[in-house]
Structure 1
């Protein structure tokens, strides 16, 4: 059985299986963890690191310390690509400020599920802390849309003797570019487009409110570094998730200058793209890979890839192959073939993973780190 290296990729819509987000809405919490804000109690340990580029996690009283607020969303209209890319992408942004070699990752413990439910709701007499605008009663495009879809907290700790001390927080705020709504319960779903300018303006105001509220939260020092990262959700029918468009770090109550992030998701093969598209060469290489696979094994149903670019440079690629294989020997032979062909056509110098699926679920998985040429693989057996 091959040994796997965990790859944390900023792939819009995938962000690796290890970072899969729980899906919930403001009416229910899917995290199911403790809301305690005290990490300096007896029984606190860490998971250790599998590589220098990944964080150690927090274990408390023998259990991984989870967050009760993880995965909460303002509405149920979402897709798994957004959920996974939001969490995974946020962790990658955190690494730019909190080096995994010096910090320990802790699931958010300061924003409880009840707090976030209120924040993600509309502002009203009964919910004065709502970050989304009041309902103006309209049922068309003149309605006040839901701007803020989700908020994610990540805590970063350092050892302080035999305990852990909070040294930084990252907050991700997911904004809607499209708000889906119903005019009546169980009725048809309509969509309201939100302009980029309106989304960013509203998002900046929300970010300032969130930071101000965090500064007043018990257990958070007034001068604690807080990273804020703004994310725009992809439409529900998108084959790739959304992207982070700006970030900043503040050590006081005010938010300073935002850093714009030029992040773009692409789905291969590109359809209808111009020859000048910066991802065109990568798409052609993927199509050559696709042809090799389909010619050798005619029982392939579909091959697609999702890639993410930062400043027009590819950061990683996630390939999904759907097959109609049934026998174990076919799956093994196919996985071996993919491992031989992939290095010739898929991008080098960045993390790449390949998932081989069937109607029965995942059949095999291949991965390669940015420093490797060859792929490690594992075939999932039925025993």
Structure 2
């Protein structure tokens, strides 16, 4: 039998490894579709998912907003942070179709520009869209009407490049002005009426459009949609919603304002709430809450947020607070919750249920529209 030297063994091993790696590369190259498409030097766009926009990648990284983080740090109610931006994108889809446009995080309004806009108007800041400080702190001060704003860009292909084809500007208006009379002192609250909020928003909208059109790269005839959002109070269990929109096709001129009927309500409804919105959902949730409380008495409470668009329910988020200590109790409870939810909660919209203690998340149950079962995720 012929003996192979150590050097010979190494040659054979290396050859096998090269063939194996080459085979894996060929196998993966034929199985895995590319996640991006290149449009121009350093700029790529993602593949389109059903009902979603393609998005922009630059130099291998997601292109983040030029004013990133302002909304997250300025909104007084954390529920408004996500709802404001996600609802704005849903609204944009009615204006800029996902199969015709590419989404890009706002690139034209810088953080400094946005902060100057959100500040009070003063001798040193002519751009401020909030009113001058009248120096009063007795409930008659000039409130901060505009809490934050965000920009979303919609691009079209122009040969191998991307071209700005439309913009959406979301403006979050306060329903309650919070302020302090002195640093680190108590927080005071001043309600803002619906009529004052709506009137002030329409007053400063042309100024916002003018500032956007002044930015390099924004033409005078690119369509700009401006959408007004009503923040919820900082202690509310439900987020706010968009209430009005308009479009500027050229310059600072705006078309007639269109009402948007987005609303989120907390269940169970308060006895003082005489509106008919959510009555059926409230009855179903009350039955659900009673059912699980009777089966498992260690429930500290249960609430839900029902989201409506134009009077129609679009989703429900439920929170159940427990006092369980053993994993077997949690396992049994979540199974029963899923069965009760199928019986009493709406089946024609997405439903998400969180089971938690005061300090710990225990389980998440989710069900998509018309699904027959819940997906349960138990957390150790």
Q: Give the TM-score of the pair, scaled to structure 1.
A: 0.82
Q: Distance in 2 between matches of 1:40 and 1:216?
A: 27
**C-alpha displacement at 1:275, in angstroms?**
6.9
> Aligned pairs, how many?
342
Structure 2 equivalent of residue 242 of structure 1: 240
1:1-383 aligned within 5 A: 42-50=41-49, 52-72=50-70, 78-253=76-251, 254-273=253-272, 277-380=276-379, 382=380
State the secondary structure of the residue aligned to 2:334.
helix
State the secondary structure of the residue aligned to 1:307.
strand
* Aligned partners of 1:77 and 1:180 also within 8 Å: no
Structure 1 residues 163, 331: CA separation in 2 closer, same or farther (over 3 Å shift)? farther
Deviates more, 1:189-198 or 1:360-369: 360-369
Structure 2 equivalent of residue 33 of structure 1: none
* Aligned partners of 2:74 and 2:147 also within 8 Å: no
Q: Distance in 2 between matches of 1:60 and 1:244?
A: 31
Structure 1 residues 112, 77: CA separation in 2 closer, same or farther (over 3 Å shift)? closer
Q: Distance in 1 between matches of 2:124 and 2:376?
A: 54
Q: Residues 142-189 of structure 1: CA distance to partner in whole angstroms, max 9, x if unpaired?
A: 321111101011112234444433222111101112111112222222
Q: Distance in 1 between matches of 2:241 and 2:349?
A: 18
* Aligned partners of 1:74 and 1:121 also within 8 Å: no
State the secondary structure of the residue aligned to 2:203.
helix
Deviates more, 1:67-76 or 1:239-248: 67-76
Structure 1 residues 153, 223: CA separation in 2 closer, same or farther (over 3 Å shift)? same
* Aligned partners of 2:285 and 2:345 also within 8 Å: yes
Task: Name structure 2 gaps, 5 residues minimum.
Answer: 1-37
**C-alpha displacement at 1:341, in angstroms?**
2.3
Q: Give the TM-score of the pair, scaled to structure 2.
A: 0.82
Q: Residues 255-313 of structure 1: CA distance to partner in whole angstroms, max 9, x if unpaired?
A: 11111122322101112056762321210101111122222233222211001222322
Q: Distance in 2 between matches of 1:326 and 1:74?
A: 34
State the secondary structure of the residue aligned to 1:207.
helix
Q: Distance in 2 between matches of 1:77 and 1:276?
A: 27
**C-alpha displacement at 1:360, in angstroms?**
4.7
In angstroms, what is the RMSD of aligned CA positions?
Answer: 2.4
* Aligned partners of 1:75 and 1:149 also within 8 Å: no
Whose relative contact order is higher, 1 or 2, with alpha carbons under 8 Å and at least 6 apart? 1
Structure 1 equivalent of residue 12 of structure 2: none
Task: Name structure 1 gaps, 5 residues minimum.
Answer: 1-38
Q: Distance in 2 between matches of 1:70 and 1:116?
A: 10
* Aligned partners of 1:73 and 1:120 also within 8 Å: no
